[in-house]
Each structure stands twice: as C-alpha cells, then as structure tokens.
Structure 1
Amino acid sequence: MSTAAATQGVSAGTIVASLQNCTKRYPGVLALDGASFQVAAGEVRALLGKNGAGKSTLIRMLTGAETPDTGEVEIDGRPLAHSGSVRAAEAYGRGVRVVYQELSLVPGMTLAENLFLGRWPTGAGVIKGRQMEAEAEAALKRLGLDLPANRLVAGLSPAERQLVEIARVLLGKPKLVILDEPTSSLAAAEAEKVIEAVARIAAEGIGVIYVSHRMNEIRRIARSATIMRDGRIIDTVDVAGADTREIVRLMLGAEADAATALTSRAREKVVLEVKDLSLPPKLSSVSFKLHEGEVLGIAGLLGTGRTELLQAIMGVRDFKAGTINVDGAPVRKPGYHAMMKRGFGYTPENRKDEGIVPLLGVDENALMTDFPAVSSGGILSSSKISAAARAVIERLHVKAARTDTPIGTLSGGNQQKVVIGRWVHAGSRVLLLDEPTRGVDVEAKAQIYAIIRDLAAEGRSIIFVSSEIEELPLVCDRVLVLRDGELQEEFTSPNIDQDAVMAACITSH
C-alpha cells in the first residue's frame, strides 16, 4: 500500500498514537490490564477481540474520553495531559477521529450540513454555505464518492452513509482515524466501497485502527492485527501469515479448546426438495435436497442469488420455473403465510432494518410469529407472553435485563438470537437463515453455531447462507456452492475445506 504522508505533515512509519502500560478499572471490572499499543502513520491496524475484550476502552483512551488509572497515552508524540472533557478536546485537536458502528447522521439534512454539524463555517454571523458545500464535496471526493453536497442523507444507500461518516472525520487534517465495525451492516459489494476508502485514507499517511470481525476484509486491508482478550493485549500478528483458527484461539483463549467436533445427525427423510428452480437473472436451474436434522450451507459470492433462493422457497419472491416439494408433495405457488403453516421460518440478511422492531421489547419481537399461542380467548395474555418470552431467552441464552427490554438496546448477537428464537417459538421445523452471524462478535458467533447445531439435533432442518467461508465447516453438514445460476459443487463434513470452497465460489466456466 503506497502512502502520501506529506499531505498530513507526518512521515510514513511515524508513531501517531500509543498506549504505554495502561490500566483502567471500573467497579467490579478490570477493563484494561497493562495494555501497550501503538499505530503508525499510513498503517491500517486491525483490532480484534470478542465483546468485553477491552477494545472499546482502548479506543476511549485514544480519543481522550477516558483517563487511565495507570500508564500514559501519547498522541502525535506527546502525552495527553488533561482529564475530563478537556482531555477529549486535546486528543481531537491533535488529530484523533472515530467513526462508531451506529451512524450519527441526520437524514433530513444535506451532506454538507452533516459534515459540518456543530462546526459551521461562519462570517459576520452568517453560515458560509458555498464554502461549506465546496469543502464537503472535496472531502467526499477524497473517498471516491461523487455526490452533490446539497443532497439529503435520507436518499443515500447504507454504504454511502457510512462513507459520509468517514468523510466527516477527514475534515481538519486527522492523524488517526478509528473505524468501529464500519461494514457490519453492509453487504459485500457495499463493504467494498468502504475498504477502498480505508485504503485511500492510509495512502494519505493517516493511521487507521480498523475494528471488525470479518477476516476476509481484515486480510485485504490490514497488514497486522492486534488481538485483545480480558482487557489485555494478547498478541499482534502478521495478517498475511496468520491462520484464522489461530486468531480465533487467541481471541477466545481456553474457550477455543472447548470446541467439539461436529457430529452430523441428518436423517434419510427429505423435508425439502428444490428442482430446476429458475429466477432470472440470478438463478437459472437450482436443484437440491434438504434432509431432516441437516444443516445445509449455501456458499457463493455476493450477487449469485443466495438471498433470492431463500426468498423463493419462503414465498417472498415468485420464481419463473421449477418445483418445490415439501415432504414429497409439490407446493404449486409458495406464499409466505402458507410456508409458515408448513413449518418454515426465514431470517433476513439485514437484521437491523428487516429482522427486528427496535423499539419493541424482546418479548414482542420473539413472539410475533405466533401471538395466538400467548393469547386467551383472542386476547393477549401478559402471563403467557412473559412465560413464552422467558422460555426463548433461556433456550437461546439471550442476555437481556427483562423480557420487555427494547430489542434495539441489545448487542447484535443477542438480537440475532431473538430473531432465530421467534421461529423456535413458532415451532418451525425448517429454518432458512440468511447471514445469521453478520455483524456479531466471535463469542456470539460460537453461541449461534451451537444453537443451530442443537436445533438440528432436535430434528429441525436448516439452510445456512453465509459470506464467511471459514464458518461453514463449523456448523454445516454439507455445503453447496452457488455459481453461475446453479449449484455447482458439494462438500460434506468433515471434509469441508474452506480454501476449496472459496476456490469453487470464485471459479468461473
């Protein structure tokens, strides 16, 4: 990766930020334990670790939002000397910027207004609109985003919104940009735009800390990764030479050793058979069988039609040709409610926008697939709702203070457990899971894998769509590769080799 550090007034390789033996305690929690860390100009450093590992505390140290109990934080070669809000202003003044996972844009304002929110350029008490728009467009073009500065944020795609957030932190000559899960809610094609933007930032000599759980992205954008566990820096590894399983072991520690070999409990009975399904332009002729108690993985590049396949089976999309058989009987025209009655459940790829109702409680989100089951005489029963919600929470190990806690306040992993749990509540026997681990940490992923395997052991059948090839051998009995509109290759556990699956995904005729 080339650098042009002169544009930022620092030399490539110069340390722009560091922690030296920093410790931070909160009541009952050792959040940071003697952590030493540094990042250089023009470097993209991945920061890895499960929830609670200390990543957020480390980031807050660098931004000046927290002061270490012991140790020292240096930004641009000098220690942060103040405390409280003055310390945060000091770090900001030296060029530390952060983009958090939850976007903070105002949809009803323009791009320029969002970029300069709270820092309006003024003259004689009047906002300099033309100057603001010109500087905003220049910041956007630095990331390869050609958009008019007077456009409303409400009309942008998710990837464009993320890039606008990044463009905002480029104003004012930053030295360090921290990106917290910038692609967790994006599809692969949209994530590509963010990855390209990160490369542009580093090429200007800006240090970047990149927090993500997507190993494929990390391998492309970062040369090294710092791994945290239990508040400590465990290791910093060369990304190119590091094995994913070794990185996971470093993140989980003793937890990784507790993993057990996958044992298939798939049965002979075929619960779903798809024959020559066609849904132009994505799918031309797809055929496969799903057995009772089987976890069937579908791999393929973005745009190959994986989501469309699940939606066609669930009746969300109409397909042009082909047949779908359930328990040996043809389903002429699948409809969503008809497939629900046949025992099918579907979790969408975009959990945040399509999978949950953020302001409603865990209970309402978990039980919406079968409200009659928690009703008496056609009226919802609070006692039945509480008991049923508690059963889902306990069954899927959801961490929530109360059954009526708004689901939007939970972590991504716990939200996803509830989304899966609603189909457990409905008694669904066939689950169509589209990217069920997207945007969740390593610990939550392992828990979701265990949940899926437990459901399969109970006799449920599951189709598991994932863009993360490395997780398919951990949860699937079989993996089918979708390419060129058809299912091209099949891999069976325990011989599901992620390199072979990836090669099958990218090979073309």
Structure 2
Amino acid sequence: MSVALEMRGISKSFPGIRALSDVDLIARAGEVHAVVGENGAGKSTLMKILAGVYQPDGGTISLDGAETRISGPIDARSRGIGMVYQELNLVPDLTVAENIMLGATPSRFGFVRRRALSEAAAVVLDAFDARIDPAAILGSLTVSQQQIVEIAKAYAQRPSIIVLDEPTSSLSEHEAQALFHIVRRMRADGIAIIYISHRLREVLELADQVTVLRDGRQIETRSADGLTAGEMIRLMVGRDLTDIFPKREVPIGDVVLEVDALTRPGAFADVSVSVRAGEIVGLAGLVGAGRTEVARAVFGLDRAQSGTVRVDGRDVFARTPAQGLAAGIAYVPEDRKRDGIVHSASIKDNVSLPVLSSLSTGGWISRTRERAMVRDQVETLGVSPPVIERAVDTLSGGNQQKVVIAKWLAAKPRVLILDEPTRGVDVGAKADIHEIIGALAAAGTAILLISSELPEVLAVSDRIYVLHEGHVSAELDRTEATEATVMHAATGEAVRS
C-alpha cells in the first residue's frame, strides 16, 4: 500500500506546555491507522497540525511522497484531508442537506439547486443507513444524529485522508456497527483513515496499525494484529488497569426512585422503572429509543403528559430542574459541553452553582464555605489539576466530566441520573469515573445509568431496563443480561417473539 501521509518528528509547544515531542505518524492508502492515548496525550494537537489549525514547531509533513506545508483548514481540505472532530462543527440553523454539502453546494447561475442538494445529501445518508430527513433543520436533531451528519459531511468530500476523532462517542452499538461498515468501505476505496477512539474494542475491530501516545510522546507504533486491549492500556497509561469497569458489590436497600407509566407523546409512553438505594440500574436501547427523554422528564427538564415520579415514596411534580433538585434528583447530561458546564467559569463556580442558596446567609454567599466545599469535591473525585480557580474549559474531557459530576454531588442527591457519563473520556478517566459511581452506590445513592456503550451497561448495572421506540421492552437482572439479550430487546425482537 502506498504511503498517503507521512508526519516525521512533529513537535509543538504552547506556553508552559510541551504538547508533542518528535512524533512520527505514517498512514497508508486503504489502511485504518488508530491513534490512542489518554486525554492530554497529544492526539488532538497532532490532528490539528494535520488540519492546518496549528503549525508545528518542528518536523515535516508529506502527502503522497511530497513534502508540504499545510497553511490552514481550507488548504488541508483542498489537499484531500477530511476532518471529523469530536466536537460538532455544523450550522444548527441550516438543514441537514445544507450542512452535508457545505462548501460544495450545487448551484446554477448563482442559485442553489435545491433538488440536487437534497438528492446528493440523501445518497450519503443512505450509505449510512441513516433515517434522517435531509430537509430537517440540524438543530432539531439529537446529538447522535448530528454526529452522523458530521461524518456524512466529511465523507461527501471524498477525501484521500480522513481523520475520525471519537466518531462513535455518541452512537449506540447498532449505529456504531453501521459506521464501521462505512469505514471499511472507505478503506476498500483506498482512503487512508486515521481513527481516534477511547473505545479500545472498536480500535481492535477496525485498525490495521495502532500508534500509542503518552504525554506528547510516541510510545509505540505496531500492527493491530495480536494486540490486546490490556497491552494498549498499559502503553497508554504506563500502568495496568485490570478492570476498566470495576463492579463493587454493595447492599441494596429500599426503593428510592419510582417511575410509573410516565408518558410524553412522541418521545416515550407508559415507562415504569424503579431504582433502590445502592443500586445501579442501566437504561439501555438504541439511540432514539427515548432514554434521554425519560431522564429529562424525571428531572424536570421536559414535561411528561401523564404518569408519576416518586422519591422515597413521595410524589414529585418536577416542572423545572430546580424542582427536580429540590426533590433529591440530580442529572448529569449527555452533552457536557452544551449542557453540563459554564465554559468561561472556574471549577469553583461550576461546582457551587446548584447549591449557592445553601452557602448563603441573608443573601450573602460565604466564600469560605464555598471554597471548602469545592475543594472537598475536587479532592474526592480526583479532579486534576486540583486548582479550583482554574477555568473549567482548560481541563481534559475526563476532568471536565468529573467537574460536572461534582457539581451535582454537592447537592447530595438521593437519585443520580448519569447520561453517557464516560462519553469521550480516556481509559484512565473512565476507570476513575466508574470507581466514583461505585462509591456513590456504596453510600446508598440510587443511580440510573444511560450509556450507548453496551459493555459499560452490562458491567456496572445490577438491573437493566431496555427501551425500544419509547417503550420498555425488557427488564433484565444482572445474571441474565448479555449483549445478545439486550440487543434482542433493543431492536424489538423480544416484543415480537
């Protein structure tokens, strides 16, 4: 296979930070080359250099054997480099078709050819087997659907090199498999694919070559053949993590959360679930099945039309998040960037935000009590660096997620709803977050866990409810839940059989 991309000796520094030190990356046409490492390892910096966002301090880049300088993102695109970032780069007020064909909109005499635009976008979406209307406004779609549109936009450019940065972070197992089909087809078409993911199982399933980065340095590049997840973890973090999803056995108490026949037309209907003290209950299903919608209604973000929610036997009529929090419910949302953090604020201000009233006397906030409370949460959850005045958007994804969790734990909830709690975080942070979840369960918190990563749901849950098209299709005990039984129910087969 011919070499499509050769990056040699790439180095990059920012004020006070050595982001990359003498890193090599070679990607061949018709090959999937995975780049793995913890958050902060240098993966994103390396890819932004390839995309022309940053210029390297040292090293060379060659495309198809010719050394070149990539002056910016437009230059990178013109050279056949397609980028799909983890954070969406779309226009919410435009249609799906307009986003997919952005920069290549079919026109005639200065007028957009609407039919050609829609047809071109439909061809790409059909390749993904995605049931998304090209005429839909992008902002009306779910996060997972927008991620599919982002990937479709890059694929529509027909690049010779494509970078996929956490492309399945908001996709279900079923949707991820559809994406893998597209990746394999692009590989067969001779496209060089650079694949970045914290999901090591999918790396092993897709990759031909694997490069491991740690602290801005290239630790190893080797064939994926024969490589194990355990070896990758050891290379990534410099230590062995014997269990990414540790399950702590704790006593299960009385029912804390009862959801009975909850209904919101168009989203879900007749949903009944319960969670006991110390219990971790998984809420599984394909993306679009209604999992997040149920969580939002329980917390008070959306209003259910009928049904009841009880906490410790008392009816909860949460019409706002403040009412949900007052009832003892906390909700960690699936999109921390959009819904979980205040980007311009410090760790301290983010963590204390939901509980300022409890830190106030006569309308005055006690800054001493605030700082003490935040320091305690930061220490308990292992936020790094533990500098509470630091801006939260300077932290890695895993540490941002810990801040989001800390924010709601400060309210000492009886029920904690976690929606995609480890989405887009590295393996070390993932293990830390699961340790936190286990400790919360041991302390008697009732936990409702939503995750598109099925191994995560199976590993940590005591029971699992499966949703299919807005209805509960199965309730499975930990002992009977397998990938097969969950997917059987998630696809509706359990209902039909």
What TM-score does the superposition give when structure 1 sets the normalisation length?
A: 0.74
Q: Does 1:226 align with 2:210?
A: yes
Aligned to 1:77: 65
C-alpha distance in structure 2 between counterparts of 1:204 and 1:490, whole Å: 42
Q: Once the 2 structures are TM-superposed, how far is the Cα of residue 269 of structure 1 from its aligned partner?
A: 2.3
Contact 2:30 2:192 in 1 (8 A): yes
Q: Once the 2 structures are TM-superposed, how far is the Cα of residue 272 of structure 1 from its aligned partner?
A: 2.3
Name whichever of 90-99 and 187-196 sits farther off: 187-196
CA displacement 1:320-372 (0-9 Å, x = unmatched):
55544432x24164444444223211122232222233233332322222211
C-alpha distance in structure 2 between counterparts of 1:290 and 1:112, whole Å: 41
Q: Does 1:416 align with 2:401?
A: yes
1:443 to 1:502, Cα distance in 2 relative to 1, 3 A: farther
Q: Does 1:45 align with 2:48?
A: no
- Of residues 257, 266, 269 in structure 1, which corresponds to 2:242? 257
Q: Once the 2 structures are TM-superposed, how far is the Cα of residue 266 of structure 1 from its aligned partner?
A: 2.9
C-alpha distance in structure 1 between counterparts of 2:424 and 2:175, whole Å: 14
Name whichever of 398-407 and 25-34 sits farther off: 25-34
Q: Does 1:439 align with 2:427?
A: no
Residue correspondence of structure 1 range 441-480 to structure 2 within 5 A:
441-480=426-465
Q: Once the 2 structures are TM-superposed, how far is the Cα of residue 257 of structure 1 from its aligned partner?
A: 3.4
C-alpha distance in structure 1 between counterparts of 2:341 and 2:120, whole Å: 34
Q: Once the 2 structures are TM-superposed, how far is the Cα of residue 463 of structure 1 from its aligned partner?
A: 1.0
Q: Residue type of the partner of 1:356?
A: I
CA displacement 1:232-280 (0-9 Å, x = unmatched):
35455558x8766665555445241376952211333222233444555
Aligned to 1:346: 331
Q: Residue type of the partner of 2:195?
A: Y
Contact 2:260 2:307 in 1 (8 A): yes
CA displacement 1:58-93 (0-9 Å, x = unmatched):
4356457555867x653202344x6xx769999777
C-alpha distance in structure 2 between counterparts of 1:274 and 1:429, whole Å: 14
Q: Once the 2 structures are TM-superposed, how far is the Cα of residue 311 of structure 1 from its aligned partner?
A: 3.0
- Of residues 476, 481, 485 in structure 2, which corresponds to 1:490? 476
Q: Residue type of the partner of 2:423?
A: R
Q: Once the 2 structures are TM-superposed, how far is the Cα of residue 131 of structure 1 from its aligned partner?
A: 9.2
C-alpha distance in structure 2 between counterparts of 1:432 and 1:446, whole Å: 18
- Of residues 251, 255, 258 in structure 2, which corresponds to 1:273? 258
Aligned to 1:10: none
Aligned to 1:390: 375
Aligned to 2:294: 309
- Of residues 348, 366, 377 in structure 2, which corresponds to 1:363? 348
Q: Residue type of the partner of 1:374?
A: L
- Of residues 32, 44, 58 in structure 2, which corresponds to 1:56? 44
Matched positions, count: 478
C-alpha distance in structure 2 between counterparts of 1:378 and 1:347, whole Å: 28
1:383 to 1:265, Cα distance in 2 relative to 1, 3 A: same
Contact 1:179 1:208 in 2 (8 A): yes
1:214 to 1:170, Cα distance in 2 relative to 1, 3 A: same
Contact 1:407 1:415 in 2 (8 A): yes
Q: Residue type of the partner of 2:477?
A: F
Aligned to 2:83: 98
- Of residues 12, 15, 35 in structure 1, which corresponds to 2:3? 15
SS in 1 for 2:464: strand
Q: Once the 2 structures are TM-superposed, how far is the Cα of residue 143 of structure 1 from its aligned partner?
A: 3.7
Contact 2:246 2:431 in 1 (8 A): no
1:234 to 1:256, Cα distance in 2 relative to 1, 3 A: farther
The structure with the largest alpha-carbon Rg is 1
Contact 1:24 1:69 in 2 (8 A): yes
- Structure 1 unaligned runs (5+)? 1-12, 121-127
C-alpha distance in structure 1 between counterparts of 2:268 and 2:111, whole Å: 48
SS in 1 for 2:163: strand
Aligned to 1:298: 283
1:176 to 1:254, Cα distance in 2 relative to 1, 3 A: same
1:32 to 1:106, Cα distance in 2 relative to 1, 3 A: same
C-alpha distance in structure 1 between counterparts of 2:113 and 2:399, whole Å: 41
Q: Once the 2 structures are TM-superposed, how far is the Cα of residue 45 of structure 1 from its aligned partner?
A: 3.4
Aligned to 1:205: 190
SS in 1 for 2:293: helix
- Structure 2 unaligned runs (5+)? 127-132
1:467 to 1:346, Cα distance in 2 relative to 1, 3 A: same
CA displacement 1:269-319 (0-9 Å, x = unmatched):
222233444555554544443221222222222232222332343344444
Q: Residue type of the partner of 2:210?
A: T
Coordinate RMSD, CA, aligned: 4.6
Q: Residue type of the partner of 1:15?
A: V
Contact 2:463 2:475 in 1 (8 A): no
C-alpha distance in structure 1 between counterparts of 2:464 and 2:147, whole Å: 34
Q: Quick one: percent identity of the two aligned structures?
A: 34
Q: Does 1:427 align with 2:412?
A: yes
C-alpha distance in structure 1 between counterparts of 2:172 and 2:451, whole Å: 11
